[in-house]
Chain A
Amino acid sequence: MRRLLPFVLIGAALLAWELVVRSGLWSPLLFPPLEKILSELILFFSKSESLMEAWVSLYRALGGFALAAVAGVAIGMLMGRSAPAAALLDPFFSGTYAIPKIALFPIFIFAFGIGSLSKLALVFLECLYPIVIITCQGARSVNRVLLWSAQNMGESRLRTFARVVLPATAPYIFAGFRVALPVALIVVIITEMISSADGLGYVVIYALASLKTDRMLAVVAVIALLGLALDRALVFLRDRLVYWEKLETYYV
C-alpha cells in the first residue's frame, strides 16, 4: 500500500486535471486536455531533435555536477581533516554561502560565451557549496577511536585515509550529492530559460512564447521525470556503494 500511494496520488492529480478541462470553465490554452499533452509527449520522444535538447540539458547538468563532485569532495575532505585548510577556506565558503551565485551568470556569459561553458561553470559553482559543506561535516565527525586504531596498527596516512576516513565520510558525501543533483538541474533549466538557443529550458520558454501550452506541459513533464530519474539513480548507486548504512529517508 505504501509503495502504491504515490501512484494513487499521481492518478488523482491527473483525474483532477481532466475534470478541470472537462468543466470548460477555463480556456484549453490554460488547461490543455491530457490526451493532447500525451500526444506531444509521444512526439517529443519520437523526434531525435527534441531528444537532443534533453541530452544537451542532461550533459550540462551532469557535467557541472561531476566537476563539482570531484572538486567538492576534495575540498571538503581537506577542510574536514586539516585545521589550517579549514581556517583558510571556511570563511570563504560560509561568507559567500548565502549570496545567490545565479547573479554571476551575465558575467559568465561574457567570460565563457553563451553556449554550454557558461552554464557548466554556474552549475559547478552552485553544486560546489552543498558538497563541500556536507563532506566537511562528515570528515570532521569520523570516529577518533577508529583513526587511533588504524595508527596503532601502523597504517600509513594514505591507507588510513582510503580505508577509514573515506568510508566513514561516504554517507555524508552522498547526502551532499543528493542535495546538489537537483540544484544542478534547476540551474541548467534557469540558465537555459534566461539565455540559450537549446536545451529543455529553452524549449519550455519557446513553447510558452508561441502559446503551445500542450507542448510546454509535455516538456515540463519530461523535466520533472528527469529530476526524479536522476535522484532515483543516485539513491540506487548510493545503496550499492554505502551498503552498510541504510538511507534514512522516506520510502520514496
Chain B
Amino acid sequence: MGIVRFVLLLLVLLAWQLLWIRGLPEYVLGPVEILRHFGAALGERDFYDHVGASLMRSMPGFALGTLLGIALGLAAGVARSFDQMLSPVVFLTYPVPKIVMLPLFMLWFGIGDVSKILIIALACFYPAFISAYYGAKATPAILVWSGLNMGAGKWRIFLRVVVPNALPQVFAGIRVSLALSFIVMFATEMINARSGLGHMIRVAENSLRFDLMYVSLASIAILGYASDQLLRLGRERVLAWQEQNA
C-alpha cells in the first residue's frame, strides 16, 4: 500500500515536471526548480530570519490560545457555573470570523507581534475550547459514580476520569488549532508585517520573484505538515491505550 502511494506521488511529480518542460505559465514552477530554489534559500541567513519570525508568532499564539481553550473548555464541561458563564459567549461568537478583530487589535496593541500573537491565540481558542468541552461532557456518568463510590475526591476524578476520557477529543481540537495557527499567522503576515514567511511571499509577489514565492510556499507547507506529524506522534504516545482499542 505504501509503495503504491509512493509511486503515485512520484508519477504526479513526474507529470508536473514534464508539463513544466513543455511550457507552463511563468508563475508555475516545476518540482525540480522549486527544490533547487529551496536548496539555495537554505544557505541564506535571510530565510532563517523569516522562518524564525513566523514561528515566534505562531507558536506563542498557538500555545496561549490552545492551553486557555482546553483549560476553560474542561472547566465548562464539568462545572455548571463555568458552563453557564462561558459557553453562551463562546458558542455565540463561534461563527464570527475572528480575523476581523485584527484591525482592532492592531489599533489597541500596535502593528507589531503582540496583535498578531493575540489574534492567533483567539483563533486557536475556539476549536480547543469546544472539543475539550464536549469531551469532558461526554464522560460516562457510571465512571464518575464508580470513582465516587471508591472514595475518590473531586480533583482525583477530574484528573483520572474526566481528563483521560476527554483526551481523544482534546487532541482532535489541538489538531484543528495547530492548522489554524499557521493559517492565521500567514494571513496576518500577508496583511501587515515586516518579516516572516507571509511577508516574504508578498514581497516576492510584488517584485515578481516567483522563486522566492515558491520557497515561502514550500516552507509553510513543510512547517504545517511536520508539526501535524509531530502532534500525531505525541498523540500516539499519550493515547497508546486508546489506539489499542481501535
Contact = CB atoms under 8 A, between A and B. Distances in A.
Nearest to B103: A208
Interface residues of B, number: 54
**Mostly helix, strand, loop or mixed at chain A's interface?**
helix
A25 interface: no
Interface string B60-89: 000000000000000000000000100111
Given A91-B8, A100-B186, 18 more contacts: A95-B225, A99-B220, A100-B224, A103-B201, A103-B216, A106-B202, A106-B205, A182-B96, A185-B97, A190-B99, A194-B202, A208-B107, A213-B107, A220-B104, A223-B100, A250-B88, A252-B88, A252-B91
Interface residues of A, number: 48
B179 A111 contact: no
A105 B213 CA distance: 11
Given A98-B224, A99-B220, A227-B97, A208 B106 contact: yes
A35 B12 CA distance: 58
Contacts of A193: 99, 102, 187, 191
Contact of A105 (B1, B190, B204): B190
A250 B5 contact: no
B145 interface: no
Interface in B104-123: 104, 106-108
Given A102-B186, A230-B95, A204 B224 contact: no
Given A98-B228, A100-B186, A107 B100 contact: no
A62 interface: no
A5 B90 CA distance: 12
Interface in A208-228: 208, 213, 216-217, 220, 223-224, 227-228
B98 interface: yes
Contacts of A207: 103
Nearest to B191: A193
Contact of B178 (A98, A213, A249): A98
A204 B107 CA distance: 12
B167 interface: no
A52 interface: no
B42 to A, nearest CB: 18
Say what secondary structure dominates the interface of chain B: helix
Interface string A171-210: 0000000000110011001100110000000001101100
Contacts of B9: 91
B32 interface: no
A5 B85 CA distance: 9
A153 interface: no
Nearest to B98: A186
Interface string B211-227: 00100110011001101
Given A194-B190, A208-B103, A107 B217 contact: yes
A194 B187 contact: yes
Nearest to A130: B176
A87 interface: yes
B53 interface: no
Contacts of B1: 87
A5 B26 CA distance: 56
Nearest to B205: A106
B92 interface: yes
B204 to A, nearest CB: 7
Contacts of A88: 8
A9 interface: yes
A30 interface: yes
A241 interface: no
B97 A186 contact: yes
Contacts of B225: 95, 98-99
Q: Which of B1, B101, B103, B197 counts the most chain A CB atoms within 10 A? A: B103
